[in-house]
């Protein structure tokens, strides 16, 4: 029950919705489908909840794509997210439920709406020594490796809500989602995380409990740690000088996973931090602001005259 309460609390804060805004659509007694939130912007996560008599065999699709469904301890949960370039429009969620006890088969459906939203355009000037890291094939290869790391869908790993800031007290030098053009269009990409200003060799803390999915060097991200928190949710820590965990290792929230650095495609030392849901990066600050100790990081914009290391 405590876990359910914490998840509900999480959702209320995460998506800034009132409990009354959570849509519940009972189809038959004891079977319910709810979606929070029902309207999202591109690259914003939402959750589908299915409640009913147990045990149930459940499969779900969103549009034409299968959606992974997990047992939460109190019901079933399915995170969903659309990509950065998803156009506005409605998507049909279909949930097939088989009650093993009665043999009853039920299909539930609802609609999830993607709202129009444009992430801001950003122009990034990289040091000339870094231009080889704008190579198309190199970037695609790294993205493929990242997709591979975050592909497994595992049960809850005891995430320890709320997620906490991996770099407490640090200023944000670049927020999530900027649609970047590097060195006059040599490479274009969305900023898939949030950047915190750091020195070199400072500790980086795990945002939540989980299992280390990867700890390795990548060309663009330098030394990277990725942690599987379960339910298709991963966190990622990049540009580190040192890796202090190994794949398969359980970590607790607040454990030091590595030391900051300036390796990879970056003009200077900083921490690049990502939250990834179903393989799609989402805005980490939406998750971090659940922490009662969270202080919204001060943002530094390049036009303020301070350098903003970016990648």
Considering the complex, state which of residue 52 and residue 177 has its C-beta at the smaller distance from Zn ion: 177
- Among the residue ranges 5-13, 165-173, 244-252, 264-272, the one whose residues contact Zn ion (CB under 5 A): 264-272
CB of 269 to Zn ion, least distance (A): 12
CA Rg value for the chain: 20
Considering the complex, state which of residue 164 and residue 220 has its C-beta at the smaller distance from Zn ion: 220
SS3 state at 225: strand
- Residue 219 DSSP code: T
> With CB under 5 A, what is the number of residues at the site for Zn ion?
3
CB of 264 to Zn ion, least distance (A): 10
CB of 126 to Zn ion, least distance (A): 12
- Residue 299 DSSP code: B
- Name the nearest CA neighbour of 36 among 112, 106, 115: 112
CB of 203 to Zn ion, least distance (A): 19
Q: How far apart are CA 176 and CA 281, in angstroms?
A: 9
Considering the complex, state which of residue 82 and residue 196 has its C-beta at the smaller distance from Zn ion: 196
CB of 193 to Zn ion, least distance (A): 5
User: Of residues 133-172, which lie at the interface with Zn ion (CB under 5 A)?
Assistant: none
Among 272, 275, 281, 290, binds Zn ion (CB under 5 A): 272
Nearest-CB residue to Zn ion? 272
- Name the nearest CA neighbour of 34 among 86, 106, 81, 95: 95
Considering the complex, state which of residue 91 and residue 197 has its C-beta at the smaller distance from Zn ion: 197
Q: How many CA atoms lie within 13 A of 46 on its CB side?
A: 24
CB of 198 to Zn ion, least distance (A): 12
- Among the residue ranges 29-37, 84-92, 134-142, 270-278, the one whose residues contact Zn ion (CB under 5 A): 270-278
Q: How far apart are CA 282 and CA 277, in angstroms?
A: 7
Considering the complex, state which of residue 17 and residue 189 has its C-beta at the smaller distance from Zn ion: 189
User: Of residues 176-235, which lie at the interface with Zn ion (CB under 5 A)?
Assistant: 193, 195
Tell me whether the omega of the peptide bond preceding residue 87 falls within 30 degrees of 0, making it cis: no
Considering the complex, state which of residue 195 and residue 209 has its C-beta at the smaller distance from Zn ion: 195
Phi, psi angle pair for 86, to nearest 5°: -65, 125
- Name the nearest CA neighbour of 225 among 235, 122, 233: 235
Considering the complex, state which of residue 195 and residue 283 has its C-beta at the smaller distance from Zn ion: 195
CB of 68 to Zn ion, least distance (A): 27
**51, β-bridge pairs:** 32
Contacts of 46 (CB under 8 A, 6+ apart): 15, 35, 36, 37, 38, 40, 79, 80, 81, 112
Considering the complex, state which of residue 52 and residue 264 has its C-beta at the smaller distance from Zn ion: 264
Q: Are strands 105-114 and 39-40 parallel, antiparallel or unpaired?
A: parallel
- Among the residue ranges 3-11, 45-53, 126-134, 272-280, the one whose residues contact Zn ion (CB under 5 A): 272-280
Footprint on this chain of Zn ion (rule: CB under 5 A): 193, 195, 272
């Amino acid at each position: 029950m405590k876990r359910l309460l914490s998840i509900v609390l999480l959702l209320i804060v995460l998506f800034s919705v009132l409990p009354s805004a959570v849509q519940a659509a009972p189809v038959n007694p004891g079977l319910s489908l709810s979606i929070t939130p029902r309207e999202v912007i591109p690259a914003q996560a939402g959750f589908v909840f299915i409640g009913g008599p147990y045990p149930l065999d459940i499969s779900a699709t969103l549009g034409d794509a299968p959606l992974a469904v997990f047992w939460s301890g109190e019901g079933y949960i399915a995170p969903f997210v659309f990509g950065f370039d998803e156009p506005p429009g409605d998507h049909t969620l279909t949930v097939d439920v088989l009650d093993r006890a009665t043999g009853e088969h039920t299909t539930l459906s609802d609609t999830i709406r993607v709202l129009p939203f444009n992430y801001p355009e950003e122009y990034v000037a990289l040091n000339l020594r870094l231009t080889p890291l704008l190579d198309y094939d190199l970037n695609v290869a790294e993205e493929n490796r990242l997709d591979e790391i975050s592909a497994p869908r595992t049960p809850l790993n005891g995430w320890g809500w709320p997620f906490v800031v991996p770099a407490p007290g640090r200023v944000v030098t670049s927020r999530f989602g900027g649609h970047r053009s590097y060195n006059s269009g040599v490479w274009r990409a969305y900023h898939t995380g949030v950047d915190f200003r750091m020195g070199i060799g400072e500790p980086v803390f795990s945002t939540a409990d989980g299992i280390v999915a990867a700890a390795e060097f990548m060309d663009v991200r330098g030394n990277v740690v990725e942690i599987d928190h379960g339910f298709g949710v991963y966190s990622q820590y990049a540009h580190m000088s040192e890796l202090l965990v190994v794949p398969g290792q359980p970590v607790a929230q607040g454990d030091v996973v590595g030391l900051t650095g300036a390796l990879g495609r970056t003009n200077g030392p900083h921490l690049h931090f990502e939250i990834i849901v179903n393989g799609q990066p989402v805005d980490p600050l939406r998750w971090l602001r659940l922490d009662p100790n969270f202080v919204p990081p001060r943002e530094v914009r390049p036009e303020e005259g301070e350098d903003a290391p970016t990648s």
